[in-house]
Amino acid sequence: MLMLASQSPRRLDLLRQLGLDSLVLEVDVPELRSAGEPALDYVHRVAREKAGAGLLAVASRPGVVVLAADTEVILDGAVFGKPADAEEAAAMLRRLAGRTHRVATVVWAVSSARETSACSVSEVTLAPLDGAAIEAYLATGEWRGKAGAYAVQGRAAAFIAHLSGSYSGVMGLPLFETATLLRQHGVNV
């Protein structure tokens, strides 16, 4: 049985693209970067903590595989998580506009017998954005709950000048890497 330790509807939809249905586990893992913690180490740690919390929640169920992921936008060593409000979202978009940043998604698949992980790092270049474009995007509300304050699969696609890497990874769950991990755990993909 596959359990997804995530409240992200996008991750659930992406798993369905692989032909998989999973039960959703609600896990509460603080997403706080430690002082001096390298950006990729942070993404790995948070994803692993989500997977571990999910596995603890279902430890009494045999044969369960828990899948968890974390996605962050990284620019100049700074991690752009989910903005708390529209003001923070606007500040993120202003910093990302006209520049290339990385989107890192780390996926963990864990069971009582095994732990495996994969990392997908993509490069995304946003076009230059003026204040009016940012305000119009913020008005859509699409930025809420999105690392870096944008959704590649939504209206922000019009801002993406270039993407090198995994489109599904930028959305929040790199499908190639996820399918590979799940096969290692005996999940038919």
Active site residue ranges? 70
Half-sphere exposure of 133 (CA within 13 A, CB side): 15
What span, in angstroms and rounded, lies between the C-alpha atoms of 110 and 115? 4
What span, in angstroms and rounded, lies between the C-alpha atoms of 125 and 101? 6
Burial class (CB in 10 A: 0-12, 13-18, 19+), 46: buried
What span, in angstroms and rounded, lies between the C-alpha atoms of 58 and 39? 29
Q: Are strands 115-126 and 2-4 parallel, antiparallel or unpaired?
A: unpaired
H-type helices in 18-125, by residue range? 39-57, 86-96
What span, in angstroms and rounded, lies between the C-alpha atoms of 184 and 178? 10
